Amino acid sequence: MTMTIALGTWPLFLFRRKDLKNLSFIFKTHNKICQIFGIDIEIIDKENLLIHNSCVIISNHQSSLDLLALAKIWPDNCTIIAKKELRFMIPIEFFSNKTRIMFINRTQTDKSKMLIDELARNMKKNHIKIWVFPEGTRNNSPNFLPFKKGAFHLAIKAQVPICPVVISSYRPFYSKEAKRFEKGKITMICLPPIMTTSKTQEGVNDLIHDIKSAMENTFRINSHDLNLKKNL
């Protein structure tokens, strides 16, 4: 469904210039999918994403359903960093040229560092927000995968806040293994921003540990609450 809608918007982008607003437009089309499938999305403390002109937003990554959640909360002047392998998927290649989606090759450390330096300069100059999935791949288990360090190095380099967003578990209404997809609810919790002005690259491991722990605790508590409501 998401690919079908995306392909249907191609003609609208043929004559549009590169702009972050194009990404916001794409996500707006995905809001209709929530209505079709009866998915309710609740956002808690969204103002935590809006109080800073520039920031690095990080969130857990469970499945393609994340696109529906992002569509509901996507802030203005924001782009996303994805692994380079996704660039060769249709229609991502086309849209990346129109929306300024950033791709990173995690196997080439030197080029990744150069990209981080460039992004840090652009963030400060153009007041850009960048969304990253630090787990690096999809993960639908209760425990988060180890976080990649790139998003945190970027935030420290640019001296901008890190804004963690926790997306609740889809298990109460969705299971790929059981081929089950029902009406349900997604809760997104925007945790308070973590300032990086006093952080250094040497302390990135401690920073990652603290943020990851806070996000995991929030995920478990929220998922437990959703399961209780489903069983009532």
CATH of the domain at 97: 3.40.1130.10
Q: Is residue 8 part of a domain?
A: no
pLDDT the model gives residue 232? 47
CA distances from 171 to 93, 140, 203 (A): 31, 8, 35
Q: Cα-flanking dihedrals φ and ψ of residue 164, to 5°?
A: -80, 135
As a whole number of angstroms, the distance between CA 220 and CA 159 comes to: 30
d(CA 71, CA 81): 16
Work out how many domains the chain is built from and give that number.
1
Examine residue 59 and state whether it is found in any structural domain, yes or no. yes
What are the strands, taking DSSP E only, across 84-221? 102-104, 129-132, 162-167, 174-175, 180-181, 184-190
Asked whether the predicted pLDDT for residue 191 surpasses 90, the reply is yes
Is residue 9 in some structural domain? no
Residue 52 lies in a domain: yes
Closest CA to 132 of 111, 118, 153: 153
Q: Which domain holds residue 74?
A: 16-231
Convert the pLDDT of each residue in 33-73 to its tens digit: 788 888 999 999 999 988 778 999 999 999 888 988 888 89
For residues 147 and 15, give the distance between their C-alpha atoms in angstroms, rounded to a whole number: 38
Strands 180-181 and 174-175: antiparallel
Residue 120 φ/ψ region, left for φ over 0, alpha for ψ in the -120 to 50 degree band, beta for the rest: alpha
Q: Is residue 200 part of a domain?
A: yes
pLDDT digits (tens, 9 = 90+) for 92-131: 555 666 566 666 666 666 666 777 888 888 888 888 899 9
